[in-house]
Structure 1
């Protein structure tokens, strides 16, 4: 087993890190499903690197060998209430060297030093990573169905459920933070602000209102690396459905993916009714006290949101 050290990614690591994410992710999906998910000659995964460089409290950790070659990487994000662990990748040239475990150990150290729980969303289909996290003590607390939806070019049918949905504004950030804290025990003001201000032209955030109060929010991203509905949280399935319809309609002609908690059957059945189809399953895990969500949570992979 070789000798590796961990350091923070620097601006000059951008292309090497993006290449590692693309190639190692494609290698996993090629082995598992017979096809990669990123174009092998494009650098769409720069979007991961660029977003984490913009968000306060976020960074990529690199595991490098004695020659400075990057053997693995992991994104992490310190928020007000918790640490989140994002996408982790290990180069095929460095398999079997304990790199993922070394990166996880470092992030656990930082979270525990800050006195904050560590949260993540991991694939139920990747048992190697699931075992890595559970062996480290992370406990599952929510199960998600990954649903792909082909949004028609003409948009979704207009279904008025009686819940008003509008674009979020910066004036909504504190109300969104309070809402998500009550629903899932977490808050991430920097993320909400980024989605609303949309400096890179990839994001949108909607809020649902009932009786003048925000009862749910849902963001979505149209990055080439991750076309996804979320993150979001809502008190009720009715609010979640209204938000899902509004954000899906913004992705006309595209096929975004949405994560829904499997225990909320009405919302799941609604997405099935829109043509949604299952493509994977994920589980939310936590090291430290896990707050069992008392509403609907909809996580994403970019940025990660456990």
Structure 2
């Protein structure tokens, strides 16, 4: 038993570092999530983690990661509370701290149905939805005849410009990590112009497709098909539900729906950028 029944509001909240990677993965496992060390490592190095240590010395009892995109937006993810401390106010205490640390910076997050009421208490409002899909991709539907190729170092400045235009903010600190983080990074091209890009990064037994930035649905389809051709693993991705045509095509190609998440914001009415070209995030934990 945890020293459980003692009040928890005295437990200090501290900044997490890369040295906490194993403890974060253990916390994921405690809640029935996959360990996801590869993703945790990205978030801990590119963002700022906050956590609460177990007073009994058994690792972390709570975590959250904040990925900053400057004064206009930060994304919150990996909000977890150990099962043995669930429903004791730990999660909302940590989130109140994160919100206070953000100050005037608007916030966004993807909320599960269970987590959404907590975030609403903190002033977040739902502004959209994302559907998670998973499965082995089989090209049973036509794939648009759009040229894609492996990205090169020379493509990076163009990819960064396109990403800033579509995402609406500079996320150089995330996109420049993609060549090392992802197993596959591709661009779509027409007449020498890069019209989209996408990555597939390893997460346990899957490859997660994200980010997926494309001029239109056909370009997004071509990128996904090219990434799928490069792996034997199932694909997983989180697609904005407004992209109905892409979702229908992915389901026809073997990906099955798993869950819906609410896209929520605080202190701004919606996300910046151009949603019509933003098909899937790098990871829902980073917005």
Output the CA distance in 2 between the equivalents of 1:187 and 1:210. 24
Alignment equivalent of 2:265, drawn from 286, 300, 303: 286
CA contact under 8 A between 1:48 and 1:225: conserved in structure 2?
no
TM-score, with structure 2 as normaliser: 0.84
Residues paired across the two proteins, number:
275
Q: Where do 5+ consecutive residues of structure 1 fail to align?
A: 27-36, 39-43
**1:209-224 paired onto structure 2 within 5 Å:** 209-224=189-204
Alignment equivalent of 1:89, drawn from 69, 74, 80: 80
CA contact under 8 A between 1:208 and 1:239: conserved in structure 2?
yes
**1:229-244 paired onto structure 2 within 5 Å:** 229-244=209-224
Partner of 1:147: 133
**1:135-284 paired onto structure 2 within 5 Å:** 135-151=121-137, 156=139, 161-196=144-179, 198=180, 202-224=182-204, 227-252=207-232, 254-284=233-263
- RMSD of aligned C-alpha atoms? 2.6
Output the CA distance in 2 between the equivalents of 1:265 and 1:17. 35
- When residues 178 and 256 of structure 1 are mapped into structure 2, their CA distance, relative to the original with a 3 A threshold, is same
Output the CA distance in 1 between the equivalents of 2:227 and 2:111. 24
The Cα shift of 1:53 comes to 3.9
TM-score, with structure 1 as normaliser: 0.79
Alignment equivalent of 1:76, drawn from 66, 89, 94: 66
**1:108-119 paired onto structure 2 within 5 Å:** 108-112=99-103, 115-119=104-108
CA contact under 8 A between 2:132 and 2:239: conserved in structure 1?
yes
Q: Which whole-Å deviations, capped at 9, do the CAs of 1:165-186 have from their partners, x for residues lacking one?
A: 1222333333333323333323
Which of 98-107 and 288-297 deviates more? Answer: 288-297
Output the CA distance in 1 between the equivalents of 2:166 and 2:200. 19
Partner of 1:101: 92
CA contact under 8 A between 2:243 and 2:279: conserved in structure 1?
no
The Cα shift of 1:65 comes to 5.2
**3-state SS of paired residue (1:257):** strand
**3-state SS of paired residue (1:263):** coil
Partner of 1:305: 286
CA contact under 8 A between 2:148 and 2:226: conserved in structure 1?
yes
**3-state SS of paired residue (1:190):** helix
Output the CA distance in 2 between the equivalents of 1:130 and 1:226. 26
Residue 295 (structure 1) aligned with residue 281 (structure 2): no
CA contact under 8 A between 1:86 and 1:301: conserved in structure 2?
no
Output the CA distance in 1 between the equivalents of 2:16 and 2:62. 11
**3-state SS of paired residue (1:243):** helix
- When residues 105 and 141 of structure 1 are mapped into structure 2, their CA distance, relative to the original with a 3 A threshold, is same
Output the CA distance in 2 between the equivalents of 1:225 and 1:79. 30
Partner of 1:131: 117
CA contact under 8 A between 2:164 and 2:171: conserved in structure 1?
no
CA contact under 8 A between 1:206 and 1:217: conserved in structure 2?
yes
CA contact under 8 A between 2:124 and 2:265: conserved in structure 1?
yes
Q: Which whole-Å deviations, capped at 9, do the CAs of 1:222-277 have from their partners, x for residues lacking one?
A: 1327631112222311111111111222222x212122222222211211221121
- When residues 169 and 141 of structure 1 are mapped into structure 2, their CA distance, relative to the original with a 3 A threshold, is farther
- When residues 116 and 179 of structure 1 are mapped into structure 2, their CA distance, relative to the original with a 3 A threshold, is farther
